[in-house]
Amino acid sequence: MKTANILLSALALPAFLLGSCTTNPDSPGLEFMPDMYRSHAVEAYVDYGMDPYHFTEETAAAQRNTSSARKPVEGTIAYRGEDVLERALSMPYPFENTPEGYEEAGLDWHSPLKDQTAAAEAGEALYTTMCTQCHGEKGKGDGKISQNGHIVGIPDYSVKLVDLPDGKMYHTIKYGKGLMGSHASQLNPRQRWEIIAYINVLQGGDDVAEDNDENTH
């Protein structure tokens, strides 16, 4: 009896192990407890209809084209809480990257930041890091890249652009203009308005820019 048992186990073990061998290298072989590997939960962003390997064809057909991963309806705005300012900052920019869009932005797109002095202070740091190389420290269009002749004709904020409305500045920061590239990926909407608040200071020319320096340093 004992011998028979030993003999049986000696035969059963290789049979058990060989059972999980297949010729397909991509197949995991026989799965003894598939529930341990294959979740029955419906995962987001998985179209089970495309994946009959994990399921029977019947299950796959039943789940095909379920609504697990649909895009939101066009024009949907992510909910940003009750804060009025956060909500204003998260509104999508409504103007196209066209000359008409640029003109419309000049008329209809305004900063939601109430405290322009604080905004200009934050904007100065951003401007110094990201814009001076072309526009120059005081916005005269005389940054290093302008001096070395790579990009010429950068306009002076306090002369040529003295009347430039904020909305047009925002449009340019978002889409770029002429030789200036878009800065949309580097600056979020709040930072754009902060920089614009600082450009408003620079539009006032030397005196105002220097006054601002005295106030902020």
Chain residues in the site for ligand HEC (CB under 6 A): 130-131, 133-135, 145, 151, 154-155, 161, 164, 168-169, 172-173, 177-180, 183, 195, 199
Tell me how far, at minimum, the Cβ of 164 lies from ligand HEC, in Å.
6
Cα–Cα nearest to 169, from 101, 105, 90? 105
Pick 48 or 109: Cβ nearer ligand HEC: 109
Residue with tokens 């990201």: 130
Residue 201: φ, ψ to 5°: -65, -45
Cα–Cα nearest to 131, from 215, 208, 203, 196? 196
Q: Do residues 182 and 87 lie in contact, with contact meaning Cβ atoms separated by under 8 Å?
A: no
Tell me how far, at minimum, the Cβ of 110 lies from ligand HEC, in Å.
15
Residue type, 89: L
Pick 173 or 201: Cβ nearer ligand HEC: 173
Q: Which residues contact 123 (CB under 8 A, 6 or more apart)?
A: 191, 193, 194, 195, 196, 197, 198, 199
With 0-12 / 13-18 / 19 or more C-beta atoms within 10 angstroms meaning exposed / middle / buried, residue 10 is: exposed
Tell me how far, at minimum, the Cβ of 162 lies from ligand HEC, in Å.
11
Pick 48 or 198: Cβ nearer ligand HEC: 198
Select the residue whose beta carbon is closest to ligand HEC and give its number. 178
Pick 87 or 177: Cβ nearer ligand HEC: 177
Tell me how far, at minimum, the Cβ of 46 lies from ligand HEC, in Å.
40
Residue type, 105: A
Residue with tokens 């397909």: 24
Tokens of 167: 């909305």
Pick 48 or 124: Cβ nearer ligand HEC: 124
Tell me how far, at minimum, the Cβ of 24 lies from ligand HEC, in Å.
56
Pick 60 or 130: Cβ nearer ligand HEC: 130
Tell me how far, at minimum, the Cβ of 193 lies from ligand HEC, in Å.
11
Tokens of 30: 């026989």
